[in-house]
Amino acid sequence: MHQLRLFLLVSSLAFSNIDLPDNFKADFTQMITNTKNKVIHYSGEVRFTEGKLFKWSYKVPTQKEVCTDGMELLVVDHDLEQVSAYYIAKGLDVSKILKKAKHHSENIYVANFDSKKYTIQLDKQQRLQSIAYFDDLDNKVQIVFKHIKYGKGNFSKASMQCDYPASYDVIRG
């Protein structure tokens, strides 16, 4: 569910006063801190293109891919040999969150929506640097982007798809 909420938040940045390029590619670190201060670290690479296509390639601690075409979200867990498919309509209306985003301080935007607070930080070049929020289980979720490269044009559709063997179990949610 963290991936769904994150996807929706980042994809909706295109509708806020925060400018996103035609595409970007970045390394990311995702930290999830539970209410007992136990921290789980994930890292990998993310790609964004065409205003709605995302591919998150998790490398540590497990191999997982999260891809979307703007309507469906696929989570491919290579360790479990499993694919989970979700329709985006079941998620948040993040465009409403970002419409409520207010400039808080230098390079920081804050949005309060549906009893949740989202913090979006930009770097000095006004590129996405981090996103933080508390999920439905009161876990603190923070995603930090590094080595971000903004570009023009689009990545190929093939590079944005989650590939998996036909032998993987597919679960529709």
Of 75, 73, 99, 100, which is closest to residue 8 (Cα–Cα)? 73
Task: Give the predicted TM-score (pTM) of the model.
Answer: 0.78
Per-residue exposure over 64-75, b if at least 16 CB sit within 10 Å of its own CB, e if not: bbbbbeeeebbb
Of 41, 39, 45, 21, which is closest to residue 30 (Cα–Cα)? 41
Of 1.10.1370.30, 1.40.20.10, 3.30.420.40, 2.50.20.10, which CATH number belongs to 2-172?
2.50.20.10
Q: pLDDT (tens digit, 0 to 9) for every residue of the chain, 173 residues total? A: 566 555 555 554 544 566 667 788 999 999 999 999 999 999 999 998 876 788 999 999 999 999 987 788 899 999 999 999 988 764 444 445 556 778 899 889 998 877 788 898 988 888 888 889 898 889 999 999 999 998 888 888 889 999 999 999 999 97
**Spans of all domains in the chain:** 2-172
Helix (H, G, I), strand (E, B) or coil at 131: strand
Distance CA 100, CA 68 (A): 24
Looking at the DSSP bridge assignments, the partners of residue 74 are 67, 85
Distance CA 161, CA 170 (A): 16
